Chains A and B, each alone.
Chain A
Amino acid sequence: MSTREEILGRVRQAIGDTPRPTAEVPRGYRGVGEGLDRSAVLARFVERVEDYRATVTRCRAAEVAEVLAAAVTGRSVVVPPGLPWPVPGSVDDTGQSAAELDAIDAVVSAAALGIAETGTVVLDHGPGQGRRALTLVPDLHVCVLGAAQVVAGVPQAVARLDPASPQTWISGPSATSDIELDRVEGVHGPRTLHVVLVDDL
């Protein structure tokens, strides 16, 4: 018998002939946060992203290019295919190796959505977001998202996301609590996270 059959057999034996009721899962938590008005949702998003010691810039669509230019000034920068905004002096993602990406200072990307309750941006690595390594190896990540992309809480985010794509949920710069359980920002992932929130997008 294969290990697979053995394990499945042991599982069935362990559960036995007892009836297998399916417990009702209370889902009332899903309604929480729905009632908040948009400006409160956005204010909470900004407050909570900043709480992780990330930088947030709010601007209008017409100002994005200018904000991005200022954010990466003086640094080498890479951009994913499909990024809707110009970034001065940037190089395109041409499939650079990890070591090559390590020599680049910054990356600018779009995002799939933002979560106000937890101050999170989620990438699903679609157009404008690039493959996963691109937003991981450079030390500065500038992430642009529109106000309409910000949802209230985790349930709304999960409902919108498609699990067929890989995802990276990002809440602040890389950090660790491993030394005396004190939080320190800046380990292996980007040590600086800059979120650009575009109010009229």
Chain B
Amino acid sequence: MTGTFVGMPVFPKAAREAVGDSQLRRNLAHATGTIRAKRAAVVGEVEEWEELRLAGAAIKENVLLHLDEHLVRLEESLTKAGATVHWASDAEEACRIVGDIAAAHDATEVVKVKSMATQEIGLNEALAARGIDAWETDLAELIVQLGDDLSSHILVPAIHRNRAEIREIFASAMGEVGRPAPDDLTDEPARLAEAARLHLREKFLRAKVGVSGANFAVAETGSLVVVESEGNGRMCLTLPEVLVSVVGIEKILPTWDDLDVFLQLLPRSATGERMNPYTSVWSGVTPDDGPQEVHVVLLDNGRTRALADEVGRQALRCIRCSACLNVCPVYERTGGHAYGSVYPGPIGAILNPLLKGVGHDDQTDSLPYASTLCGACFEACPVRIDIPSVLVELRSQVVDAHRGGVPKPEAVAMKAAGATLASGRRLGLAERLAGTGIRLARRVGARPWTQARDLPDPPAESFRAWWRRTGGDER
């Protein structure tokens, strides 16, 4: 079973360990380099890209400021389309709802489409505790599950594994939970994909209950949308008799037509494709086609807390494309595990503190410092989330939460850099300030974080300058 992130060390410590792992760093550099080039190419061919980003940001912002109205409308449309709507305040409540539905059908297993929301709530572990096996069917999730590992990337949870490691995991673990890997399995990606196809086929064909998330939920029509590549999503959404979708309350789009923005932004930002192989759309129950019992669980789990943060609220626009991870110089060196959450990278550095609140645990409080404020994430983000500004805001919240004690030196240093950034200067300036922040941090003795980083000195050439020079700049 997939492990959990409970009890992870604070970011600087975890990061120090990660950057010492040269295999991990090679795997990550290779994978993020590949995806950056692909994304730059397909984004570059869309002339109206900036306008799409503005439209995406505006649509999501409108949703957030009217979220109560949209939620009520979504519930209405879903109910009319034959779905049963449930509401869950937190992870425990959501897991209980899904478990109860599976139990009502005497299911001892469910097949799962890759879903960040179900990972966030620890659904697999909760179902296991009730004697229900949850089979991950996305290839990368399968690698993580079979390897008893942790996810390290939003889109490609096994990005830290190379082909040889994946072969090992398949050869040793598949047989324990179903059809074993072929004896002559090689580390060729096509052979590995085929092994996954054979292994999961029997699980798809016999599954009674499917569990998914949703990339989008259209309030106007009650349509849920799942974007995927392998067809495992289609299998889980189509073949079982019962389908349960766990959907964060921020996943709403007001109208069907708004999808025309997001079905352009998401695939190009995520896998660097003009379009992902498969997108499934369904609205409740379709007679004689697919699951005849459809449930939707609307999940809060900290989202209303994030919504209350006027600066941080924009993090709820996130469509989980992971472009910000792929361009982040910190992520590329530390990998995802160091962030101690299913949401790693720049978005994780803001989303985790926003969902959980600051001042409760050191691990979460360390995340807003997991950045050089270089601004690459903001430039890549298809919904224009200004991650650097939110990081700066959260750093000051962490400092405030710790007021009374002596503030941590890196907090003071980063806040100094941050205050200037927040005053509305341009990003080019922010980049130079990042260097200032690091220098300042060293002067006041913020050792752990700066030691963990790969670049002990502020780079002579800024990341963004390097990015442009080496052709990473997509426009």
**A residues neighboring B (CB under 8 Å):** 2-4, 6-8, 10-16, 20-30, 32, 48, 51-52, 95, 98-99, 102, 115, 117-120, 125, 131-133, 136, 154-155, 157-159, 163-184, 186-190
Contacts and interface: CB of A to CB of B under 8 A. Distances in A.
B201 A163 contact: no
A191 to B, nearest CB: 8
A117 B156 CA distance: 26
B275 A174 contact: no
Interface in B273-294: 273-283, 286, 288-290
B1 interface: no
Interface stretch (B56-64, B403-411, B423-431): B56-64
Contact of A26 (B27, B55, B87): B55
Interface of B: 27, 30-32, 34-35, 38, 47-48, 51-52, 54-55, 58-59, 61-62, 64-68, 71-72, 75, 87-89, 93, 137-140, 143, 156, 158-159, 162-163, 166, 189-190, 192-194, 196-197, 200-201, 204-205, 218, 221, 223, 229-232, 234-235, 237-239, 249, 256-257, 259-261, 263-264, 267, 271, 273-283, 286, 288-290, 298, 300, 304-305, 307-308
B275 A133 contact: no
A172 to B, nearest CB: 5
A20 B67 CA distance: 11
A23 B189 contact: no
A15 B48 contact: no
Name the residue among A118, A181, A182 with the largest chain B CB count within 10 angstroms: A181
A154 B264 contact: yes
Contact of A167 (B27, B261, B281): B281
A158 B88 contact: no
A195 B31 CA distance: 31
Residue of A27, A28, A174 with highest tally of chain B CB at under 10 A: A174
Contact of B205 (A52, A99, A154, A180): A99
A158 B263 contact: yes
A170 B277 contact: yes
B107 to A, nearest CB: 16
A158 B139 contact: no
Q: Which of B221, B231, B256 has the most CB of A within 10 A?
A: B231
Given A3-B93, A131-B290, A178-B156, A118 B194 contact: no
Nearest to B166: A179
Given A186-B197, A187-B196, 4 more contacts: A29-B48, A131-B288, A166-B281, A171-B278
A11 B71 contact: yes
Contacts of B261: 29
Contacts of B88: 3
A176 B139 CA distance: 8
A86 to B, nearest CB: 24
A163 B234 contact: no
A145 B72 CA distance: 39
A43 B93 CA distance: 52
Contacts of A115: 275
A11 B304 contact: yes
B62 A22 contact: yes
A119 B200 CA distance: 28
Given A29-B48, A154-B260, A180-B162, A188 B230 contact: yes
A67 B34 CA distance: 38
B277 A172 contact: yes
A108 B55 CA distance: 38
B65 A174 contact: no
A92 to B, nearest CB: 14
A36 to B, nearest CB: 13
A178 B145 CA distance: 14
Among A25, A51, A181, A188, residue most surrounded by chain B Cβ atoms (within 10 Å): A188
Nearest to A122: B279
B52 A181 contact: no
A51 B274 CA distance: 10
Nearest to A22: B62
Contact of B139 (A23, A132, A167, A187): A187
B342 to A, nearest CB: 17
A125 B35 CA distance: 33
B168 to A, nearest CB: 13
Nearest to B158: A178
Given A163-B281, A178-B140, A32 B48 contact: yes
29 contacts: A4-B75, A7-B89, A8-B68, A14-B305, A15-B307, A23-B61, A28-B48, A29-B48, A32-B48, A117-B274, A131-B289, A132-B280, A133-B238, A133-B239, A158-B257, A163-B221, A164-B283, A166-B289, A167-B281, A168-B278, A169-B278, A171-B277, A174-B230, A175-B230, A180-B34, A181-B30, A186-B194, A188-B235, A189-B230
Contact of A171 (B234, B274, B298): B274
Given A158-B257, A163-B256, A173 B304 contact: no
Contacts of B278: 168-171, 174, 189
Name which of B61, B234, B305 has the most chain A CB atoms within 10 A of its CB: B234
Nearest to B232: A188
A29 B52 contact: yes
A158 B286 contact: no
Contacts of A30: 260
B300 A10 contact: yes
Contact of B229 (A14, A51, A182, A187): A187
Contacts of B274: 48, 51, 117-119, 171
Contacts of A177: 35, 156, 229, 271
B34 A181 contact: yes
Nearest to A191: B197
B375 to A, nearest CB: 23
A136 B59 CA distance: 33
Contact of A102 (B139, B205, B276): B205
B67 to A, nearest CB: 5
Contacts of A99: 205
A52 B221 contact: no
Contact of B72 (A6, A8, A180): A8
Contacts of B221: 163-164
